[in-house]
């Protein structure tokens, strides 16, 4: 499985792209391991940062409100 972001030529992951970020968050609100999603390590790092940022900015809440 190829990296979702490499495939789409996405270099920077925007924390406001919650629709995309949600694909990589499990039902329990955790970031899915790259083994499962096929994301490369470079993008996994960016993804983790984007998700944390989104949570901080409350775009994504860990629990559904
Ligand atoms: Zn990638």
**Exposure of 9 in the CB half-sphere (CA atoms within 13 A):** 0
**In 3-state terms, what secondary structure has residue 25?**
strand
Tell me whether residue 62 is in a domain. Answer: no
Q: How far, in Å, from the CA of 38 to the mean position of ligand 1?
A: 9
pTM for the predicted model, two decimal places: 0.84
Tell me whether residue 65 is in a domain. Answer: no
> For residue 56, is pLDDT > 80?
yes
Around ion ligand 1, residues with a beta carbon closer than 5 Å are 3, 5-6, 40, 43
Distance in angstroms (rounded) separating the CA atoms of residues 46 and 57: 16
Tell me whether residue 13 is in a domain. Answer: yes
- Give the count of domains, the chain: 1
Distance in angstroms (rounded) separating the CA atoms of residues 41 and 56: 22
**In 3-state terms, what secondary structure has residue 16?**
coil
> For residue 41, is pLDDT > 90?
yes
Q: How far, in Å, from the CA of 55 to the mean position of ligand 1?
A: 22
């Amino acid at each position: 499985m190829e990296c979702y972001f490499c495939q789409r030529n996405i270099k920077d992951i925007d924390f406001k792209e919650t629709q995309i970020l949600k694909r990589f968050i499990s039902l329990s609100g955790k970031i899915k391991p790259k083994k499962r999603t096929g994301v490369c390590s470079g993008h996994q790092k960016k993804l983790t940062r984007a998700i944390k940022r989104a949570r901080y900015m409350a775009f994504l809440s860990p629990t559904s409100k």
